[in-house]
């Protein structure tokens, strides 16, 4: 790979699915040194990235805080699982409608709508709990309500980038976007756990709600970038056509098949890694946090490094090669889960596994985000991104459920099954993900 991106204006790549409307018409000739610093020149992008960073920290806090809050208030692991599912799954199901709304009504307003709903939902949970007026059914109902709008901000922000950022800076902004999730993963969960431990779950939920309100402030007044859309004028018809667009799109369909299966393994690891550290090695909760944090730290460095390179024509390799290497890295946990190593050696091996997996995530994220931007018709960004992101993430909650059941039987068996999912996901990606397909922009008919 070259040290700097090649000149996009002079490259005659069959992936010229870099359609002109997707991103401002600025070429590298206008900016001879396309760097991360050049992102600061994009109007309003700094405010959007600030809002994104705050919101993602809040979102990463919700997952931990909701579980700890539910266990603290009701003492029921089953209810904790139901609440977690309710806070995630409904939003994934309605992703075609969310995408249609984003395409028809703009992104910034709907992002602000989600932040407002999240603020009200989290503060309401906290205040009702403090008043001892929050029955389990109402808690689940509030979680469902917040889930329905969450897809709006997650997809809305991701689909803003190709509209705002010049195409030759897409790798750069995608590296920053990827690292936003990494930073949130490093900061959010330990802060949420500390809040619950020190101030109680109810107060923690109120603080998280205020964090969403804080995230909304930089977004106020941010204009929607100009964007065209292909709409029938009917919401459900547009949502259905968005689903058809996804199903007929070779790249989005191939990514979903591969990444969904890969995420089954990652969902399982959220269960067996803590259990291995706490139960097998007898280490502390802090050690669990360190293992996960190592993945975030190496992933941050990796994303910034690979974000410097032009990924055009290399996306397939940047996805498939890291996935192949993930299998042995993931398998490093197996002897630890089997109780074959002591505390120091076990933690060291788990830390090494985490570091390698985090590093491999860097090029994958860059390739995944960028190829989706390049190969999605600008008229279908909202719907294409919403359905694609939801489909890719489906494996995560399912994997966590599988991991919770299997880990009670065999921790090494959980690791082995996770390795199997990684290998299957790699095979599906290699077979189904097109390296080049200039016909992908064809939209489905409304019939």
Higher per-residue confidence, 8 vs 372? 372
Rounded average pLDDT over 124-146: 91
Of 41-55, 297-311, 423-437, the range with the lowest mean pLDDT is: 297-311
Q: What is the pTM of this model?
A: 0.67
Higher per-residue confidence, 80 vs 148? 148
For residue 6, the tally of other CB atoms under 10 A from its CB is 16
Q: Flag whether pLDDT at 214 surpasses 90.
A: yes
User: What was the pLDDT predicted at 441?
Assistant: 47
User: What was the pLDDT predicted at 433?
Assistant: 84
Longest dimension (CA), the chain: 66
List all residues 6 or more positions away from 296 whose beta carbon is below 8 Å from its beta carbon.
182, 183, 185, 186, 358
User: What was the pLDDT predicted at 283?
Assistant: 80
User: What was the pLDDT predicted at 269?
Assistant: 83
118 and 150 Cβ atoms separated by less than 8 Å: yes
Higher per-residue confidence, 219 vs 8? 219
425 and 320 Cβ atoms separated by less than 8 Å: no
pLDDT (tens digit per residue) in 25-58: 444 444 445 666 777 777 778 888 888 889 889 9
Rounded average pLDDT over 374-379: 76
Residue-range domain boundaries for the chain: 36-432
User: What was the pLDDT predicted at 231?
Assistant: 62
Of 31-35, 103-107, 208-212, 258-262, the range with the lowest mean pLDDT is: 31-35
At residue 213 the predicted structure's pLDDT band, cuts being 50, 70 and 90, is very high
Counting beta carbons within 10 angstroms of the beta carbon of residue 120, is it exposed (0 to 12), middle (13 to 18) or buried (19 or more)?
middle
Q: Flag whether pLDDT at 421 surpasses 80.
A: yes
Please state which CATH class domain 36-432 belongs to: mainly alpha
């Amino acid at each position: 790979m070259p040290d700097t991106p090649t000149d996009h204006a002079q490259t005659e790549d069959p992936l010229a699915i870099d359609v002109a409307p997707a991103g401002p018409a600025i070429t590298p000739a206008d900016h001879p040194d396309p760097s991360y610093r050049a992102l600061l020149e994009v109007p309003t992008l700094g405010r959007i990235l600030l809002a994104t960073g705050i919101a993602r920290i809040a979102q990463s806090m919700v997952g931990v805080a909701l579980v700890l809050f539910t266990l603290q208030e009701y003492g029921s692991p089953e209810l904790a699982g139901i609440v977690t599912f309710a806070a995630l799954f409904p939003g994934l199901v309605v992703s075609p409608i969310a995408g249609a709304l984003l395409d028809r009504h703009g992104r910034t307003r709907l992002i602000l709508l989600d932040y407002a709903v999240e603020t009200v939902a989290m503060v309401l949970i906290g205040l009702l709990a403090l008043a001892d007026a929050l029955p389990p059914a109402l808690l689940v109902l509030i979680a469902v309500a917040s889930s329905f709008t969450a897809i709006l901000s997650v997809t809305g922000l991701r689909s803003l980038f190709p509209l705002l950022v010049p195409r030759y800076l897409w790798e750069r902004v995608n590296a920053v976007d990827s690292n936003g999730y990494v930073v949130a993963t490093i900061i959010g969960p330990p802060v949420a756990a500390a809040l619950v431990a020190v101030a109680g779950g109810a107060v923690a939920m109120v603080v998280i709600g205020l964090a969403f309100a804080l995230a909304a402030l930089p977004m106020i007044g941010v204009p929607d970038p100009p964007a065209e859309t292909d709409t029938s004028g009917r919401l459900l018809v547009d949502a259905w056509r968005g689903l058809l667009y996804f199903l007929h799109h070779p790249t989005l369909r191939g990514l979903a098949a591969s990444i969904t299966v890969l995420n089954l393994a990652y969902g399982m690891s959220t269960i067996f890694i803590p259990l291995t550290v706490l139960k097998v090695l007898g280490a502390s909760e802090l050690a669990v946090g360190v293992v996960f944090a190592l993945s975030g730290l190496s992933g941050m460095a990796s994303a910034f490094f690979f974000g410097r390179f032009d990924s055009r024509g290399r996306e397939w390799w940047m996805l498939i090669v890291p996935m192949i290497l993930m299998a042995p890295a993931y398998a490093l946990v197996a002897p630890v889960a089997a109780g074959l190593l002591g505390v120091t050696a076990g933690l060291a091996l788990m830390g090494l596994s985490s570091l390698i997996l985090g590093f491999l995530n860097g090029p994958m994220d860059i390739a995944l985000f960028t190829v989706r931007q390049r190969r999605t018709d600008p008229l279908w960004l909202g719907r294409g991104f919403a359905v694609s992101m939801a489909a890719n993430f489906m494996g995560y909650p399912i994997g966590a459920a599988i991991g919770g059941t299997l880990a009670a039987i065999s921790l090494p068996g959980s690791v082995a099954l996770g390795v199997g999912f990684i290998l299957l996901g790699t095979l599906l990606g290699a077979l189904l993900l097109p390296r080049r397909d200039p016909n992908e922009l064809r939209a489905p008919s409304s019939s």
